[in-house]
Amino acid sequence: MDERKRARVLDEPSRARVYELLSGAEDGLDARELAERSGLHANTVRWHLAALAEARLVTSRPEATGGRGRPRVVYRAEGDAPGEPENYRLLAGLLASSLARSPDGGAEAEAAGVAWGASVTSPAATADEAVAGVVRLLADEGFRPELVGGELRMRRCPFHDLALTHGQVVCRLHLGLLRGALEASGAGVEVSALRPWVRPDLCVARLDSA
């Protein structure tokens, strides 16, 4: 699993809380202790632990209890939480700033997004398959997408800070990504509108038949 995907495992707030609790527990914690400290159900904690283990963010080992029954399984945080390298943040900021100063910067960003979306999308047999493919693409890139009727709701912006200062560039890039991916699918679906910042945690794209 690459570094970006490992970081996205912690996008889920409850899972991030479980990891935070383990990071502060030098001797580790078991699922019951994590459930008590986080306020989550023990089964929910185990589900989060499985995702964290798959991302190599936690390790576990059985410890004898001194009595009968199964040994206690103790979990520990593994290393530091992943994050975006600072040099990539710097590069993204410089590029966004440069495009923002250009009279055609928004159009150039959208064109780049179209090319990006088309390059990572395969043809789809139906409109439903095309939309499902775009949802998967957005999920892989960290947008936390949700399809509700004809709306594609994105509850996280991977470039949130840049979008606040250079929205004309970043939001047009994302619009281009959606348009490029849907066009490349060849299934007759298009983005009729993109409404950024409907709420601080929500951007909405309207999907229609081409």
Q: How far apart are CA 134 and CA 109, in angstroms?
A: 19
Question: What is the predicted pLDDT for the residue at 70?
Answer: 76
Question: What is the predicted pLDDT for the residue at 64?
Answer: 72
One domain, residues 118 and 148: yes
Q: How far apart are CA 59 and CA 111, in angstroms?
A: 44
We report the CATH number of the domain holding residue 116 as 3.30.1380.20
- How many structural domains is the chain composed of? 2
Question: What is the predicted pLDDT for the residue at 78?
Answer: 84
One domain, residues 142 and 91: yes
One domain, residues 153 and 185: yes
Q: Count CB-CB contacts under 10 A for residue 141.
A: 19
Q: Count CB-CB contacts under 10 A for residue 28.
A: 19
First to last CA, the chain: 36
Model pLDDT for residues 4-48, shown as the tens digit of each residue? 666 777 777 788 889 889 988 888 999 999 999 988 899 999 999
One domain, residues 52 and 102: no
One domain, residues 12 and 105: no
Q: What is the pTM of this model?
A: 0.63
C-beta separation of 181 from 118 below 8 A: yes
Mark which of 48, 77, 106 sits at the end of a domain.
Answer: 77
Least confident segment among 68-82, 107-121, 146-160: 68-82
One domain, residues 95 and 29: no
One domain, residues 54 and 100: no
C-beta separation of 182 from 208 below 8 A: no
Structural domain of 127 = 86-209
Mark which of 77, 110, 136 sits at the end of a domain.
Answer: 77
Model pLDDT for residues 164-205, shown as the tens digit of each residue? 889 999 999 999 999 999 999 999 999 999 999 998 889 999
Model pLDDT for residues 40-59, shown as the tens digit of each residue? 899 999 999 999 998 889 99
Q: How far apart are CA 27 and CA 55, in angstroms?
A: 21
Question: What is the predicted pLDDT for the residue at 105?
Answer: 94
Which one, of 48, 210, 207, 52, lies nearest residue 133 by Cα?
Answer: 207
Model pLDDT for residues 70-97, shown as the tens digit of each residue? 788 999 998 665 555 556 677 788 889 9
Mark which of 13, 44, 77 sits at the end of a domain.
Answer: 77
